[in-house]
């Protein structure tokens, strides 16, 4: 291990979904989360967000890839599928406070309503917010299982981000529990971060829009919101998010091309301005050089 385990309550984290192998953009974000945490004396935790699609063997390969790069973590890996009681408790608190309602909308209905003139982009339009008892009974009788939504008391909330500064974003009546009774991502991540003592969240900047929603939900639950650092993504040469179809984008792909984990770590470091061309670097060197103020603000374009 590069650093001794820190016994403080502060922590950062990396929280992949086990839906497939990590690509280089994911590994780059994991490296950044590790650097942010270790450089500030925080614990570094790994949480597997397995409430949705899970591909057999993906978790094991993801953890092996992190370890191959030398990224260590503290304590046991936590899996969301073992924490359903925590999420149910949080939802029950919101229900008792009168802050939830059933939603019977299909995804298509939501998309159509959200595309109407003057509708905030991506916001749930509140279709089911004020249904009468009779209307709810009618929809239940149709057999469509309802999702449970938050009855938000604001349409915007402000967070502080280490890279983006003070950011005010949209808040809507987000889903807390899906129609299949699975806790929704926004609820689970808020509950987990607080329960694990995670006060620093480093993740891709595509999730910046989610931060105000999550921080607002944390405030309703009486939980502390973490500090955020939404970091630039890795994109392909077309300017789209990196994906498996973009070639040799996983650690296994790189290995087949003859590149060692140390080579990959060095390539990631170069993309962050932490390594010069021609040198090979270690995690210890990166930690010594780390300064978030020099982090690139533009995406990394991966061209193989």
Q: Beta strands 147-150 and 175-177: pairing type?
A: antiparallel
Summarised one tens digit per residue, pLDDT across range 50-99 is: 999 899 999 999 999 999 999 999 999 999 999 999 999 999 999 999 99
**Rounded alpha-carbon distances, angstroms, from residue 155 to 98, 124, 126, 158, 205:** 18, 11, 12, 11, 21
CA dist., res. 178 & res. 62, Å (int): 27
CA dist., res. 4 & res. 182, Å (int): 37
In the DSSP assignment, the letter for residue 4 is: P
Residues comprising the chain, all counted = 304
**Predicted confidence band at 238 (pLDDT cuts at 50, 70, 90)?**
confident
CA dist., res. 100 & res. 279, Å (int): 55
**Higher per-residue pLDDT: 107 or 166:** 166
The CATH class, in words, for 84-191 is alpha beta
In the structure encoding, which two tokens stand for residue 97, read together?
């406070």
Active-site residue identified among 108, 156, 240, 244 = 244
Summarised one tens digit per residue, pLDDT across range 264-301 is: 999 999 999 999 988 999 999 999 999 999 999 899 99
User: Residue 97 CB: number of other CB atoms within 10 A?
Assistant: 11
Evaluate if residue 115 carries a pLDDT over 60. Answer: no
Instruction: Tell me the mean pLDDT in the region 30-34.
Output: 98
Kindly list the domain boundaries of the chain, sorted by start residue: 11-82+232-301, 84-191
Binding site, by residue number, is: 13-17, 49, 103, 105, 124, 128, 185, 203, 244
**Residue 172: partners with Cβ closer than 8 Å, 6 or more residues away:** 120, 122, 123, 124, 126, 152, 155, 213
Evaluate if residue 133 carries a pLDDT over 50. Answer: yes
In terms of Cα–Cα distance, which of 272, 28, 271, 295 is closest to 161?
295
H/E stretch holding 45 reads strand 43-48
Q: What is the 3-state secondary structure (H, E, C) of 75-140?
A: CCCEEHHHCHHHHHHHHHHHHHCCCEEEECCCHHHHHHHHCCCCCCCCCCCCCCCCCCHHHHHHHH
**High-pLDDT (> 70) share of the chain, %:** 94
Residue in the block written with tokens 């939603």: 103
Instruction: Tell me the mean pLDDT in the region 250-255.
Output: 95
Global confidence as pTM:
0.92
| The CATH classification of domain 11-82+232-301, taken from the options 1.10.1740.10, 3.20.170.30, 3.30.2010.10, 3.40.50.620 | 3.40.50.620
User: In the sheet where 43-48 sits, what is the strand order?
Assistant: 11-14, 43-48, 78-79
CA dist., res. 44 & res. 168, Å (int): 28
pLDDT of residue 120: 60
In terms of Cα–Cα distance, which of 150, 169, 156 is closest to 101?
150
244 is catalytic: yes
CA dist., res. 166 & res. 145, Å (int): 39
CA dist., res. 15 & res. 25, Å (int): 14
Instruction: Tell me the mean pLDDT in the region 45-52.
Output: 96
Binding site for Zn(2+), by residue number, is: 103, 105, 124, 128
Evaluate if residue 168 carries a pLDDT over 70. Answer: yes
Contact yes or no for 160/166 (Cβ under 8 A):
yes
């Amino acid at each position: 291990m590069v650093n001794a385990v820190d016994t403080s309550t502060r922590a950062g984290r990396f929280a992949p979904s086990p839906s497939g192998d990590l690509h280089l953009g994911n590994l780059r974000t994991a490296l950044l989360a590790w650097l942010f945490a270790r450089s500030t004396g925080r614990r570094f935790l790994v949480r597997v967000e397995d409430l949705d699609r899970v591909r057999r063997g993906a978790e094991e390969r993801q953890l092996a890839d992190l370890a191959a790069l030398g990224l260590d973590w503290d304590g046991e890996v936590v899996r969301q599928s073992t924490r359903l009681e925590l999420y149910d408790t949080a939802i029950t608190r919101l229900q008792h406070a009168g802050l939830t309602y059933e939603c019977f909308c299909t995804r298509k209905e939501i998309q159509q309503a959200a595309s109407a003139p003057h509708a905030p982009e991506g916001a749930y339009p509140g279709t089911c917010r004020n249904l009468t008892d009779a209307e709810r009974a009618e929809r239940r009788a149709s057999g469509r299982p309802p999702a449970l939504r938050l009855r938000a008391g604001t349409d915007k909330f402000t967070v502080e981000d280490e890279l983006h500064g003070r950011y005010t974003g949209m808040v809507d009546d987000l889903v807390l529990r899906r129609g299949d009774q699975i806790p929704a991502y926004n609820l689970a991540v808020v509950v987990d971060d607080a329960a694990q003592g995670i006060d620093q969240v480093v993740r891709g900047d595509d999730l910046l829009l989610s931060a105000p929603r999550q921080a607002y939900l944390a405030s309703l639950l009486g939980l502390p919101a973490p500090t955020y650092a939404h970091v630039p993504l890795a994109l392909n040469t077309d300017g789209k998010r990196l994906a498996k179809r973009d070639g040799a984008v996983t650690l296994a792909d790189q290995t087949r091309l003859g590149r060692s984990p140390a080579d990959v770590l060095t390539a990631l470091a170069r993309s962050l301005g932490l390594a010069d061309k021609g040198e090979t670097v270690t995690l210890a060197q990166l930690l010594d050089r780390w300064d978030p103020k020099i982090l690139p603000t533009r995406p990394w374009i991966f061209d193989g």
